Chains A and B, each alone.
Chain A
Amino acid sequence: AQSVAQPEDQVNVAEGNPLTVKCTYSVSGNPYLFWYVQYPNRGLQFLLKYITGDNLVKGSYGFEAEFNKSQTSFHLKKPSALVSDSALYFCAVRDLGNTPLVFGKGTRLSVIA
C-alpha cells in the first residue's frame, strides 16, 4: 500500500532563510508525487508535482522539490522564505494505477519576520 510521511508537524524559519519541508513515501511502483499548500480557511492549492524526468521540480511561488529515489524522499524547498509562505503544507503520493492521492498529515510552516 502506498503511504507518505511528513516527519515534522511544525517547521519554524526566519524570513530570508532557506526552508525545507520533509516528505518520504512508500509505493510499490514508480511514484507520482505532489505538494499542496493550504492557507487559513482555504482549500488546498497545487504547488508542484513529480511524474518523471528531472529530479528537481520547480513549482509555484518559488518553491521547488527534489525527488530522491534511493532515499524515497521528496522534500520541498525554497531558497529564501517569506512571511507569506506561512501555511500548512501537504505532501501526497500516487502509485501508477491507483487513482486517489494519499496525503501526509501536513506540516505547518511558520516564517518569522
Chain B
Amino acid sequence: DAGVIQSPRHEVTEMGQEVTLRCKPISGHDYLFWYRQTMMRGLELLIYFNNNVPIDDSGMPEDRFSAKMPNASFSTLKIQPSEPRDSAVYFCASSLLGVETQYFGPGTRLLVL
C-alpha cells in the first residue's frame, strides 16, 4: 500500500495568494483528517470527514480555510487568502472506521511570505 499521499510536499507563496493542499487517503479508509503542526501550537485537528462528509470543522481557524472531499480518494484543503501566520506543516491522515489507527501522510510544509 502506498500510504497516505500528500502534495505538494513544499509550498512557498506570497501573502494573499490562494493555496491548495491535496491528499489521497489509503484505499478503503472511510475517515480522513486534516491537521496543522506548528512549534507554538503543536498538532491541531482542523477538520475530519467520514464517507466524504465533513463531520467536525470546529478546528478550522478562519473562514479563509476550507476543505472538501469530492470522492473517497481525494481531499483538498484550501487557504484563500493566505497569511504569514498560516505557515506550518499540514498533515492529512486516514483511518478505517472511527476507532482504528490513523495513518499520516508525509505532510505539506507551507511557507507564506
Contacts and interface: CB of A to CB of B under 8 A. Distances in A.
Given A99-B50, A99-B55, A106-B43, A43 B106 contact: yes
Interface in B77-113: 91, 93, 98-99, 101-107, 109
Contact of B42 (A32, A43, A99, A106): A106
Contacts of A51: 99
Nearest to B41: A105
Interface in A33-66: 34, 36, 41-46, 49, 51
Contacts of A34: 101-102
Contacts of A100: 33, 45, 48, 56
Contact of B91 (A44, A46, A105): A44
B31 A99 contact: yes
A49 B48 contact: no
A103 interface: yes
B99 A32 contact: yes
Interface residues of B, number: 22
Interface residues of A, number: 20
A100 B49 CA distance: 10
B100 to A, nearest CB: 9
Contacts of A67: none
Nearest to A6: B42
Interface in A4-55: 32, 34, 36, 41-46, 49, 51
Nearest to A96: B99
A43 B105 contact: yes
Interface in B33-69: 33, 42-43, 45, 48, 50, 55-56
Interface of A: 32, 34, 36, 41-46, 49, 51, 90, 94, 96, 99-101, 103, 105-106
Task: Pick the 9 closest A-B CB pairs, nearest first.
Answer: A99-B98, A43-B104, A44-B104, A43-B106, A103-B43, A105-B42, A43-B107, A46-B101, A100-B45
